[in-house]
Amino acid sequence: MCENAGAEVCVAESHSNQDPSLAGIAGAFLKLGTIAFGGPAAHVAMMEEEFVRRRGWLTEAEFLDRLAAANLIPGPSSTELAIFVGYMKRGWRGLIVAGCCFIIPAALIVLAIAWAYVRYGSLPQVSSMLYAVKPVVVAVVLQALVKLAGSALRTPFLWVLGVLAMVASAAGVGPILILLLAGGVAASSSWARGRRLASIAIYPAKLLAGIAAVAAVIPAVPAGLLRLFLSFLKVGSVVFGSGYVLLAFLRSEFVEHLHWLSERQLLDAVAVGQFTPGPLFTTATFIGYLVAGWPGALVATAGIFLPGFVLVAACGSLIPRLRNNRLVASALDGVAAGSIALMAVVTWQLAEAALTDRFSAVMFLAAVVALRFRVNSALLVAAGAATGWLAGVFH
C-alpha cells in the first residue's frame, strides 16, 4: 500500500505506526541517562542512533531541526534535544517524561557520589574507567557525525558554510555567534523580508525576559533553599556553550559572591558532572548537596533544568510550522550546518584527549569495527567502562 503512495504519505504513515507510549519514552531515556557518557556530542550521537536509526521515531531532517533549535536556546543542548523528542512524540507529557528520565539517572549517580564525597572528603577513583570509555565515545561520535553530515550538508553552499564554521570555531569564535551567523548567512541567501525571521524569536524571548526578571530579584532573597533554587534558575536561563562556560558562572555565583564553595569543591563538582553519564548540568546536584544536603540537591537540580523545559515547550510547536517558511527553513539549514561543524571540532578535541597511547587506539579501532557491524553504542560504552574497571583492578 505504501509503495503506491507518495513519499510524504509513507513517512507520515511509518511514523504514526511507530509513535511510542509514555512508558516506551521513559524506558528509552532512562537507559540513555544511565549510560550516555562523554558529554553533549556523545549524547547527540547516541540519540541519533537510538531514535532515528533503531526506533524510527524521527527522520534525519526532524532530528537535525531539533538539534539546531536546542543549540540556539540556553541550557544543556543534549537534554533539550531529549525534551524535544519527547514533546514531538507525546506532547507536553512526553516532554516531561523524556526530560526527567534523561536527567534522573545521572542526578542519582551524582547524588551518591556527593554523599561519598562529603563522608570521605574525596572523589571516587574512576580514572581507569574513563580512560577506556573515552576512545569508545570518540568512535560513537565520529560515526554519528559522518551520518548527520550527509543529511545536513546537502548542497555545496552548506558544505562551504560548515567548513567556514569549523574554521571560525578553531579560531576561537563563540559557538552561539557561529550558529547565529550560519543561520543568518543561510537565510540571507533565500530572499525574503527580515521581519519574518525576527518574529520567530518573540515568544521565547518573552519567556527569557520573564525568567531574567525573576533572576534579577535574587540578591534580595535571603540565603536558603529558595536562594539556591533561584541562583541555579538564573544559571540555567543564561548559560550557553561548554562546561567551561558553566564553570565560569558557577564560580562567580557560589565561590566569589555567595562564598558557599571553595575553589577545590567547585572543580570537583564540575569533574563529577564530566565523568558521570547524562548532562553535565547535574553538577548542580552535587553543589546543591554540598550546600544543603538532599533538599539542596533537589532544588538545585530543578532550578538549573527548569528553563530548558520551558523554552522547549515554547519552541516545540513552532518548528514544524516554521519549516514551511522558505526563509526560516534556510536559517534552520544554516544552523544545522553550523551545529555539525561544532560537533566536528568537538570530535577532534575529544580524539586528541582520548587517543594517547596504543591501548586507547586499540579501543577506538575495536569500537569502530563493532559499530560497522551495528553493535549498539550503549553496549559498547558499557563494555569500555567494564574493560577500564578491570584494567584498574588488575593493574
Determine the Cα–Cα distance for residues 227 and 357; give it in Å rounded to an integer. 47
Q: Write the CA distances from 320 to 254, 314, 324, 330, integer angstroms.
A: 40, 13, 7, 14
Cell numbers at residue 236, please?
540555567
Domain residue ranges of the chain, discontinuous segments joined by +: 2-201+313-394
pLDDT for 121 equals: 67
| Three-state secondary structure of 114-161 | HHHHHHHCCCCCCHHHHHHHHHHHHHHHHHHHHHHHHHHCCCHHHHHH
pLDDT in tens, 111-137: 998 998 888 766 655 667 767 877 887
Q: What is the pLDDT along the chain (395 residues), one digit of tens a residue?
A: 344 444 333 433 334 446 799 999 999 999 999 988 777 878 988 899 899 988 999 999 899 888 888 877 778 888 999 999 999 999 999 999 999 999 999 999 999 989 988 887 666 556 677 678 778 878 877 887 887 788 788 888 889 999 998 998 888 777 767 878 888 888 887 654 444 444 444 444 454 455 555 555 545 444 588 989 998 998 888 675 555 557 667 877 888 788 888 877 887 787 677 678 888 889 899 999 999 999 999 999 999 999 999 989 888 777 777 667 777 778 878 888 887 888 788 788 778 878 888 988 999 999 999 988 878 776 787 788 788 878 766 66
pLDDT for 209 equals: 52
